[in-house]
Amino acid sequence: MTDRAIETQNLAKRYGDTTAVERLNLAIPERSVYGFLGPNGAGKTTTMRMLTTLTKPSGGTGTVAGADITDRDAVVSNIGYLPEEPPLHAELTAREQLRYVAGLRDLPKARAEERIDDLLARFSLADDADRRISAYSKGMKQKTGIIQAMLHDPDVLFLDEPTSGLDPRAARTVRDTIADLADGDATVFLSTHILPVVDELADTVGVLYDGSLVTEGSPDALKQRAETGDERTLEDVFLEVTGGIGEEA
């Protein structure tokens, strides 16, 4: 990897006459947490799908973990991705699901079993690991999806609403895990509508509006009003730059 975990230049996505993302420029350092905010329809999900190779850009360039986003195999081997709806097989147990993913990732069996046991315990799923996912609550499915995304120790982890459906204790575990990942060697690209989570964890915050990056900086820098030095909340900043439009849920 270079010193930039994620980098884009004029990245764009168009659907016919509709521009979903326009001239997006990102330069996200390794071992950092990037908080990605935006209202409904701003282009956040489209951006994440381009960066994870699920959607081809209409223009511009990008690299993730040093690999060009047009090279799916090179990118996918170095990333983890949790979409808002985790891709899980309801007929499997959580342990079977994670073993299946470990096989796809070519993890050595002993290492995979150790990693699965550790993460199941960390997210308080060990006692339910052999129940079918179809019987899981939304929160339990979300935790399984998070474990699945980070199972192979990815260089870059994309998380779309990772605390959705979680009780406060589980949400705290997710926040602690994100902080631990960034303290190690991972970079976390975090999309969430819960602003205190971004305020607490993000090194840099970017706000996308109508397909364009309208503001970017550290939470402290964004909250500091330049003309007076008064401090705003991150919610104040968000509402100012998006014209008062509510966040994407």
Query: In the prediction, which pLDDT does 248 show?
Result: 43
The superfamily in CATH containing domain 1-78+156-249 is P-loop containing nucleotide triphosphate hydrolases (3.40.50.300)
Query: In the prediction, which pLDDT does 8 show?
Result: 98
Query: In the prediction, which pLDDT does 247 show?
Result: 47
Separation CA 45–CA 47 (nearest Å)? 5
Name every residue whose Cβ is closer than 8 Å to that of residue 223 and which is 6 or more positions away in sequence. Answer: 231, 232, 233, 234, 236, 237
Query: In the prediction, which pLDDT does 98 show?
Result: 98
- Judged by phi (left if over 0) then psi (alpha if -120 to 50, else beta), residue 244 lies in left
Could you write out the DSSP letters of every residue in 38-72? -BTTSSHHHHHHHHTTSS--SEEEEEETTEETT-H
- Judged by phi (left if over 0) then psi (alpha if -120 to 50, else beta), residue 21 lies in beta
213 strand-pairing partners:
208
Residues 51, 158 contacting (CB under 8 angstroms): yes
Write down the pTM of the prediction.
Answer: 0.92
205 strand-pairing partners:
35, 217
pLDDT along the chain (249 residues), means of 10: 86 95 96 93 94 97 96 96 94 98 96 97 96 95 95 96 88 90 91 90 95 95 74 89 62
Separation CA 96–CA 157 (nearest Å)? 22
Taking the domains of the chain in order of start, what are their residue ranges?
1-78+156-249, 89-153
In the chain, DSSP assigns E strands to 4-15, 18-29, 33-37, 59-64, 67-68, 79-82, 156-160, 187-191, 204-209, 212-217
Query: In the prediction, which pLDDT does 2 show?
Result: 53
Query: In the prediction, which pLDDT does 194 show?
Result: 87
Parallel/antiparallel/unpaired status of strands 4-15 and 59-64: antiparallel
| Dihedral angle sign, alpha carbons of residues 175, 206, 55, 78 | negative
Query: In the prediction, which pLDDT does 1 show?
Result: 43
Query: In the prediction, which pLDDT does 32 show?
Result: 95
Query: In the prediction, which pLDDT does 84 show?
Result: 86
Could you write out the DSSP letters of every residue in 205-225? EEEEETTEEEEEE-HHHHHB-
Separation CA 66–CA 1 (nearest Å)? 5
Name every residue whose Cβ is closer than 8 Å to that of residue 73 and which is 6 or more positions away in sequence. Answer: none
Alpha-carbon Rg for the chain, nearest whole angstrom, is 18
Cβ atoms < 10 Å from Cβ of 1:
16
CA atoms within 13 A on the CB side of 34: 25
